[in-house]
Structure 1
């Protein structure tokens, strides 16, 4: 009996050892097959272009095929759920964002970014800039705040959509500055900009990359950027904090994997991407697009996601956002 027991024990131990060895070997060999990056937006946008740059870097670093798969819709939750439900082996990744992590779960209750995703990295920050028409009475932040306090609700400020990170940032600015601007949501940046240029609204808040061409050609006046530090794409534009309004809020794009993806693989993906973007030419392309390179660690991305899910998520819940 003892000999049988010892034989069975040896077989079990051998099987476990073999399984562990295979798992370690598979992890050590990562990547050894095609990686898919799922993008929650249509092709051609900033997130899609960034995803394709990340794909190029991973392809060069890992020597494997990297596919970009666009799955837009439902505030990013369609793409998000695909990754949440994917095999946690590092071969299915999500191009994520501050909005998808903090606002989308408020609207689409069947998607929980905090519970379902392992954050790989905050790739880039996406600062906002508040701008006004060149003929508007207030051409700097001090005068803008004074005007808003003197004439409550008289400043109409456009944003890309209700509940967007830009919209939430504007509400955070209102609180910090002690003003109440009239939020005007649009379906995207273009109609908001057209109305601002046409004099139908007084201001707009949008990504630096969107507004930069209009600042560079002197069609709009940039009052401030919403990030902690100045944007390298608009170094001449001060932050709100520099001008006496202590507040900051910055959108970001990042990379995530399914929860329970081995931490070693998560770190390896992040390190591969960060190494690939050490190239100055690559970073200059990001800056010209209005993006601030970050390429933070998984721990930093996780901490930021948790903090913003609490702050921005709570603010989004007050807006009665719908799925339309």
Structure 2
């Protein structure tokens, strides 16, 4: 009897984290809030991830779009939600590293805790196929010739595409007219209609759009667009990054976080998610555990504070 008890205790000590995570399971459907518009890159990824998580959690996992304020509205909703593991956020780090630094979005950076990283985005500059700008140099020359005349669309004030455009404007000494939207789909609609001259957007949003990409904000060329030079290659050392994934309200119990992390990582490694991620110009393995995401988020908060101090208030 005693040996059986000792064996049982040892088994518990050696049990992997994924098995211990099963000590918690949701008793109702889980909601993942996407703080951007339907049809956006994060929307497609969130829905693919939810489909993979549902069978692992034993409950439906639904995605709800709560867009507005560059992601601040949906993020605030999750920050105020009960920390029971049933309401989660799928968003880029910018909602925690930038928005609280620029004002009071209704939550602090520590109002949410990382569950797992599920994506990493590059930004790009795009124009219509019939645009007079064949290269980034053409666009820069036109902007310098007519200060303030060229307009560009982005998915919201203080979003990473907006910050990328501000960095480029500073590096190239340009005066540009920015036009914020509630999400990437609306940006691309107006770009194709000619209501803005160019767009700065997440690369995944350009998939299948038939637009001309003038440059990628990244340290190296993207493997899916090998002929498109980086912005840095074209003379402007600007390469902001965007990464993110699943977050839970602060105070969510450790067993719930562990179960959600295990389900998130497993879903992100399934073919269903990977196929959608590939269409959204994601790297081959964008996922990472909660600890890795937390460390990266801490660095991003510090980096973005320095960036915001450099570029000044949003225009």
TM-score bracket for this pair, using the shorter chain length: 0.7 to 0.9
Which whole-Å CA distance do the structure 1 matches of 2:54 and 2:272 have between them? 18
Cα 1:51–1:272 shift into 2, 3 Å = same
Preserved contact between residue 20 and residue 255 of structure 2 (Cα < 8 Å): no
Shift in Å, 1:255: 0.5
Matches within 5 A, 1:87-106: 87-105=82-100, 106=102
Number of residues of Structure 1 aligned to a counterpart in Structure 2:
291
Which whole-Å CA distance do the structure 1 matches of 2:46 and 2:280 have between them? 14
Preserved contact between residue 37 and residue 95 of structure 1 (Cα < 8 Å): no
SS in 1 for 2:275: helix
User: Normalization by structure 2: what TM-score?
Assistant: 0.74
Q: Any idea what the Cα deviations from partners look like across 1:223-274, whole Å, max 9, x if unmatched? A: 1112334445534433223444322123344100122445565354333322
Which whole-Å CA distance do the structure 2 matches of 1:247 and 1:228 have between them? 9
Which whole-Å CA distance do the structure 2 matches of 1:201 and 1:80 have between them? 28
Name which one, 1 or 2, has greater alpha-carbon Rg: 1
Question: Match of 1:110?
Answer: 106
The answer to whether structure 1 residue 299 and structure 2 residue 291 are counterparts is: yes
Preserved contact between residue 163 and residue 319 of structure 1 (Cα < 8 Å): no
Which whole-Å CA distance do the structure 2 matches of 1:183 and 1:304 have between them? 32
Cα 1:42–1:178 shift into 2, 3 Å = closer
Preserved contact between residue 71 and residue 78 of structure 1 (Cα < 8 Å): no
Shift in Å, 1:124: 1.0
Which whole-Å CA distance do the structure 2 matches of 1:298 and 1:273 have between them? 10
Cα 1:140–1:119 shift into 2, 3 Å = same
Which whole-Å CA distance do the structure 1 matches of 2:184 and 2:267 have between them? 31
SS in 2 for 1:213: coil
Matches within 5 A, 1:142-221: 142-149=137-144, 151-175=146-170, 177-187=171-181, 188-189=183-184, 192-215=187-210, 220-221=211-212
Give the alignment's Cα RMSD to 1 decimal.
3.5
User: Normalization by structure 1: what TM-score?
Assistant: 0.73
The answer to whether structure 1 residue 223 and structure 2 residue 217 are counterparts is: no
